Structure 1
Amino acid sequence: MTSPRRWTLRTENTGYTVRLSPDGPWAELDAWGPLGVEDGPSALDWSRRTHFITPADAAPAEYLPYGLRPFAGADLVASRPGEERGVWWDFEAVEEAAGSLRLAFADDVIGLRAVLCYSTVPGTDVILRWTELTCTGDRELRLERIDSAGVTVPVSGPARLTYLTGQWSQEFQHTQLDLPRGTFTMGSQQAVPGHAYAPWLAVQDGASEAAYGVALEWSGNWHMTAEAEPGGAVRVRAGRVPHEGAVFLAPGETLTTPRLACAFSPDGLDGLSRVWHRYERHLAGERLRRPRKVLYNSWEATGFDVDAAGQLELAKVAADIGAELFVVDDGWFPGRADDTGGLGDWYPDPAAFPQGFGRFVEEVRALGLDFGLWVEPEAVSPNSRLYAEHPEWVYRIDGRPARLVRNQLLLDLGRTDVQDFVIATLDRLLTEHAVSYLKWDMNRPPTERGRPGADHADHLDLDAQHVAGYLRVLDHLRAAHPHVTVEGCAGGGGRIEHATLARTDVVWPSDNTAPLDRLSIQYGFLHAHAPHVMSSWVTDAPGVFDPRPRSLAFRFVNAMCGVLGIGADLRAWTGEQRAEAARWIARYKDVRDVVHHADVRLLGTPADPTFGVQYDDPAAGRTVVAALSTGRLDGAPLVPGRPERLRLRGLDPRARYHDAESGSTYSGAHLLHYGLPFAWSADHDADLVVLTRQ
């Protein structure tokens, strides 16, 4: 902390310096980068000559309201109902402590106090930012825009934006855009982050390897906007988006925006990914000490056709090949022969389990397997008993038809009584039976999003209420059932962000399990999220977007890049396939601590003939490399050629590394300069190499 009007927050490797602007009552970014970057003239300083814009529009502002910043994009738009929009605040106070900073600004005319909040995260290079808005007057305030923060990145040329795009079954596609000038925006209005975009963005200066990243911690509607401004900077704004278009703040009431995590790495996108991985290990806390067990899920083998005998047959084979957990997916409750019924009536189907569900669970556990269940607690089928008893619990607009999506409706989880019902339901399932794994799914967004009978004078904020209800239930699960592993899913990767990751153990990136499709999904996912949260299955699914077949080895090595699961119909596998699966599962158990806790480096891209993921655990002296052949093998081995090689990174060039499987020993310099050799063939398209430092 260097002066009364300039403050520096320091993480393990980075510094973030904020100052009060000499040009007006706002905070602006002075420096952000490696430790010591604040010592020298600010790269964000500007000439202070403005034409047709105001100084506030030209400034690298941390947070400014419409009024002070009328042209270049405001982070806050506020008014008193019926009056003109605009806030003109003055600096009020500063509070600083180790690792935290709070800057307060106030507009006494409109009656608003805004506190810009900063906090470092111990053991990481992440700085959290959010804003607290308080109505200090005697009349309510109308807030049309309530962003969490503004983040400025200096660039010397076109900025390169990296973001994650897609659709259902094609989530987390690594996408890049050069933005020399103009505005880029993305977001979701689906009450979840959605499949189209992840609330994550990286910005790079084309002339530098340095990478800046932001990620929004919010499970509902959101936006993220990057603007390449005239003065040679990119400014990113991010925040939640109210469903009703505005939020009303009553006198004395405070609204706290979602947290925006901000990260920096001098080592490009690869280094930035390691910053995010470390942060997500911090979010997991003590739960990270618990190994993620090898899972078998019955969905792709049986679909809705669930019965005790068929499930036990699968469980026995799963136990034989080394699985540690058996999960019964959709179809275990009454009325669920297909997707037209059953949701909401969360009781085991007596017809499917004629000797009792408890007996079935005991038989699964007697095989040495933990037991898990799939649920979709926010959904309800129109022909369910729950809907007959509580039609008012679903989102609906009075006088309008309730549209079905996937033959179901969505419960209004913003209601306390609905939250209490979901909590009671999950408590019953988790206490009456020895369930140690819960897969929480959510397969439809709200369409007609209203609350029947509600008084609109109460100024509903349905999106924020649903998020609060969702998080309340997850917080209850964590407190009341700490032994239960919780998997987050929303039709695949539709609700993956830091609020969910802080309360779950793993997430399901996509419903698409085809090998090459999944490789592309996981490549994007690992840029933003850590391997210990990435649930990945070995299945029999053919490619949806890339139909090239891949071996069982490829499918296992690919799935071992995160948390290994199996979803194939094991009954149809040959004895040879089962034996091979058992060998891969045993190898995974040997390396999963490295995969889930180590530093990750992505070696190339899925578009390359050979792609790899490198996991380094310097303390244990182990490096694990998952190598996958994605390319064509025309003419091999008839045409002379050399093995493919993956150049590793981050190793000690003077050390020696031994591969016990092949008996080979390499110098670090060799692995860095030439790389690991792989002689691919039609029958050999993947490998897992474990290197031990000697």
Structure 2
Amino acid sequence: MTTVRPQDPAGPWLLRTEHTVYAVRLGGEGRWAELAAWGPHGAETGPSPLDRSRRTHFITPADAAPAEYIPYGLRPFTGADLTVRRPGGERGLWWAFTGAHYDEGIALRLEFTDRPTGLRTTLRYATVPGTDVLLRWTELHNAGTEPLHLERLDSAGVTVPVQGGARLTYLAGQWSQEFGRHQLDLTRGRFEMASTQGAPGHAYAPWLAVQDAADADGPAYGVALEWSGNWHITADAEPGGAVRVRAGRVPHEGAVVLQPGGSLDTPRLACAFSPEGLDGLSRVWHRYERRLAGERLHRTRKVLYNSWEATGFGVEADAQLELAVIAAGLGVELFVVDDGWFTGRHDEKGGLGDWRPDPAAFPAGFDDFIGKIRATGLEFGLWVEPEAISPASRLYAEHPDWVYRIEGRPATLVREQLLLDLGRNDVQEFVIGTLDRLLTGHDISYLKWDMNRPPTERGRPGAGPAGELDLDAAHVAGYLRVLDHLRDRHPQVTVEGCAGGGGRIEHATLARTDVVWSSDNTAPLDRLAIQYGYLHAHAPHTMSSWVTDAPGVFDPRPRSLAFRFVLAAAGVLGIGADLRHWTAEQRAEATGWVARYKQERDVIHHGEARLLGTPADAGCGVQYDAPGGDRTVVAAWSTGRLDGAPLVPGRAVRLRLRGLDPGARYRDTATGTEYSGAHLLHYGLPLAWTADHDAELVTLVRQ
């Protein structure tokens, strides 16, 4: 560990990932840190692309600098990362550099101190081994004598050098239409995404990619915020031509109070780079999320059946068992009972909080029911919504103070329910005790954690001034504490994350769950667009997806059962249709698809994924290459018309594959057809679509 004093050379300090370098130096005569280079190894050699004229007009040098993290005061005009208000109302910091700690190439700490307030700010950098991801966050410590109000406390600022403006790619939508991929060119001005719903939300994902608008297929830079609460990401096209991205949490109360002697760490911001554009950037994120999974990555993600779309709230043991028997016959490995299994849960209005099996639904006992499910060869799973509470529940009658509320104000019901204040220790203990009781008292191997409403009337009467509570951070900490407990106490249980679909998907959740539910919308073409966007940011092994009979919501064009199975097989396969209404032919076809998926899921979950085309093209797909490249699986779908137009009749659609060895030969295991790698790269894999054949799962083995 090397310590660099203020009088020593001011960098650059180099952080090296597997294929990239991130170079930081001091600027402004040591008053701030700034980016010198970010790109492939060697990019730091030569003049920095971020160097600028030292002359500024109507702004300060700090406003024009590619600053890594800078406070309001030093940077008054173009956007600061930290805004601090003293009790007297004064805002602004004018700090000085007070030291660096550098673990060569691996980690860096840069410390800045504002002596009048006593605030010590430490910029943290850490590389992630085996990936091209650099983590950044900020530590704040109040060594002064008065409380400080942190009105803005971002995690980091990231500057991207562009020539003709920036091409921004982001993921946006709404409930049942999450993760739509959107792009815009930002040449001047500001772009911002945010959520104040106590979760990442359905409207935007806390993820952003930046490219040069003049080279939209060129290198891609990306950021993703690890935070389960309120957040924002802001991109500014700055006067000097670069684009600067700021990201961080958003205090619910408007400011976080940092008391004398207190410390606070901001959420981690993951920063990624790929010279291979958005598709290459997606693989960087996939590798990172495989690393987040740790040893759990290598656990087989079972084919599941979920009974929600078949029975809704009408959970009844015999009907559930009938579905389980059919599902087991298809090759399904896990049966999950969704909402409606507990006392008082006959509709949306009751039961939440009273987490005990309904004796009317299971007259022979819950364990007897689970035993019969397991006798079919299936494992058993259960849906829960631990943060929610029904006003008609026994729990609410006993603990009305446990919900978010503002004294003297009416409570707003969302989905006929209220939200528990999970920042309270007693509420956390209740949730932990409830989950422990379920998982130790019954033979449960899968838990689906849902959250179906954001917090409203977010207050905790009698607990002190609202600004000192930091309720958003407290809820996040409680949520993560419970998930950490599940991972530690019940490591054998697979945990699925859900929030009305894809409302809470970010790296803190993904590090503690095995899979997540990206959307409640399971219609085929709708879901294809959702999964296409999702895979830009997140790995296939995290993406739970079901085959259902749901009609399209936004794109109602019909698609085959094969289309639905190949689509769900692109991640972690599940089935949610009412199997009692499937014909013998449909069940036979489903059995074949389940068997095919089991043959290839290791490649799908552990291989390198490449996105082929888009849902707007006549055909699109995902290519999965096994480690070592000996096996390639292609999931492909027809997204255009199925009557031959606009193609010449009889001419196959071709998906150009990527990353193959042009000199090698590849054999299609289903047809025996052999292709050279050069053929597949140049002409593409032929796929003949018809009204009855609109999807395919192709396996190519390298000869």
The one-letter code matched in structure 2 to 1:33 is G
- C-alpha distance in 2, partners of 1:53/1:637? 55
- C-alpha distance in 2, partners of 1:320/1:633? 32
Counterpart position of 1:63: 69
Asked if the contact 2:28/2:61 (under 8 Å) is kept, the reply is no
- C-alpha distance in 1, partners of 2:645/2:629? 38
Counterpart position of 1:445: 454
Confirm whether residue 332 of structure 1 aligns to residue 338 of structure 2: no
Q: 1:564 to 1:454 in 2, by over 3 A?
A: same
- C-alpha distance in 2, partners of 1:180/1:641? 45
The one-letter code matched in structure 1 to 2:22 is Y
Counterpart position of 2:55: 49
Deviation at 1:24, TM superposition (A): 4.5
Residue correspondence of structure 1 range 115-134 to structure 2 within 5 A = 115-134=122-141
Counterpart position of 2:652: 643
Instruction: List per-residue Cα deviations over 1:615-654 (Å, max 9, x = no partner).
Output: 0114260000001001103357996341111000010100
Deviation at 1:207, TM superposition (A): 3.0
Counterpart position of 2:572: 563
Asked if the contact 2:30/2:97 (under 8 Å) is kept, the reply is no
Asked if the contact 2:321/2:373 (under 8 Å) is kept, the reply is yes
Give the 3-state SS of the residue equivalent to 1:123 in structure 2: coil
Asked if the contact 1:636/1:681 (under 8 Å) is kept, the reply is no
- C-alpha distance in 2, partners of 1:267/1:34? 11
Deviation at 1:453, TM superposition (A): 2.4
Give the 3-state SS of the residue equivalent to 1:422 in structure 2: helix
Asked if the contact 1:513/1:537 (under 8 Å) is kept, the reply is yes
The one-letter code matched in structure 1 to 2:510 is L
Deviation at 1:97, TM superposition (A): 1.2
Counterpart position of 1:187: 194
- C-alpha distance in 2, partners of 1:306/1:563? 25
Query: 1:83 aligned to 85, 89, 94, which one?
Result: 89
Confirm whether residue 411 of structure 1 aligns to residue 420 of structure 2: yes
Counterpart position of 1:242: 251
Counterpart position of 1:431: 440
Confirm whether residue 542 of structure 1 aligns to residue 548 of structure 2: no
The one-letter code matched in structure 2 to 1:154 is P
Counterpart position of 1:630: 639
Deviation at 1:5, TM superposition (A): 2.3
Asked if the contact 1:79/1:87 (under 8 Å) is kept, the reply is no
Confirm whether residue 7 of structure 1 aligns to residue 13 of structure 2: yes
Counterpart position of 2:276: 267
Confirm whether residue 587 of structure 1 aligns to residue 596 of structure 2: yes
The one-letter code matched in structure 2 to 1:210 is P
The one-letter code matched in structure 1 to 2:632 is T
Q: 1:508 to 1:638 in 2, by over 3 A?
A: closer
- C-alpha distance in 2, partners of 1:404/1:689? 48
Confirm whether residue 357 of structure 1 aligns to residue 366 of structure 2: yes
Decide which moves more: 640-649 or 347-356: 640-649
- C-alpha distance in 2, partners of 1:638/1:68? 60
Asked if the contact 1:91/1:106 (under 8 Å) is kept, the reply is yes
Asked if the contact 1:201/1:213 (under 8 Å) is kept, the reply is yes
The one-letter code matched in structure 2 to 1:161 is L
Query: 2:322 aligned to 313, 316, 322, which one?
Result: 313
- C-alpha distance in 2, partners of 1:306/1:24? 66
- C-alpha distance in 2, partners of 1:32/1:628? 37
Give the 3-state SS of the residue equivalent to 1:690 in structure 2: strand
Deviation at 1:456, TM superposition (A): 1.3
The one-letter code matched in structure 2 to 1:10 is R
Asked if the contact 2:62/2:74 (under 8 Å) is kept, the reply is yes
Give the 3-state SS of the residue equivalent to 2:469 in structure 1: coil
Asked if the contact 1:79/1:110 (under 8 Å) is kept, the reply is no
Structure 1 segments unaligned to the other structure (5+ residues): none
Give the 3-state SS of the residue equivalent to 1:472 in structure 2: helix
- C-alpha distance in 2, partners of 1:141/1:650? 53
Counterpart position of 2:673: 664
Instruction: List per-residue Cα deviations over 1:74-127 (Å, max 9, x = no partner).
Output: 000012112310100000000011411000000111110000000000000000
Query: 2:485 aligned to 476, 491, 510, which one?
Result: 476
Instruction: List per-residue Cα deviations over 1:259-306 (Å, max 9, x = no partner).
Output: 000000000000000000000000000000101000100000000010
Asked if the contact 2:450/2:497 (under 8 Å) is kept, the reply is yes
Q: 1:232 to 1:323 in 2, by over 3 A?
A: same
- C-alpha distance in 2, partners of 1:71/1:420? 46
Decide which moves more: 654-663 or 634-643: 634-643
Q: 1:636 to 1:206 in 2, by over 3 A?
A: closer
- C-alpha distance in 1, partners of 2:605/2:331? 19
Give the 3-state SS of the residue equivalent to 2:223 in structure 1: strand
Query: 1:573 aligned to 567, 573, 582, which one?
Result: 582
The one-letter code matched in structure 1 to 2:413 is L
Give the 3-state SS of the residue equivalent to 1:650 in structure 2: coil
Asked if the contact 2:606/2:627 (under 8 Å) is kept, the reply is no
Confirm whether residue 39 of structure 1 aligns to residue 48 of structure 2: no
> When the two structures are aligned, how many residues end up with a matched partner?
694
Counterpart position of 1:146: 153
Query: 2:32 aligned to 26, 33, 36, which one?
Result: 26
Instruction: List per-residue Cα deviations over 1:506-551 (Å, max 9, x = no partner).
Output: 0000000000000000000000000000000000100000111110
Confirm whether residue 368 of structure 1 aligns to residue 377 of structure 2: yes
Asked if the contact 1:523/1:606 (under 8 Å) is kept, the reply is yes
The one-letter code matched in structure 2 to 1:527 is H
Residue correspondence of structure 1 range 505-516 to structure 2 within 5 A = 505-516=514-525
Counterpart position of 1:201: 208
CA RMSD between the two structures:
1.3
Counterpart position of 1:162: 169
Deviation at 1:458, TM superposition (A): 7.4
Deviation at 1:4, TM superposition (A): 4.9
The one-letter code matched in structure 1 to 2:85 is S
What TM-score, normalized to structure 2?
0.97
The one-letter code matched in structure 2 to 1:237 is R
Give the 3-state SS of the residue equivalent to 1:459 in structure 2: helix
- C-alpha distance in 2, partners of 1:572/1:638? 36
- C-alpha distance in 2, partners of 1:616/1:289? 17
Percent identical pairs in the alignment equals: 76
- C-alpha distance in 2, partners of 1:166/1:59? 34
Confirm whether residue 499 of structure 1 aligns to residue 508 of structure 2: yes
Decide which moves more: 181-190 or 457-466: 457-466
Counterpart position of 1:177: 184
Decide which moves more: 531-540 or 1-10: 1-10
The one-letter code matched in structure 2 to 1:540 is D
Counterpart position of 2:688: 679
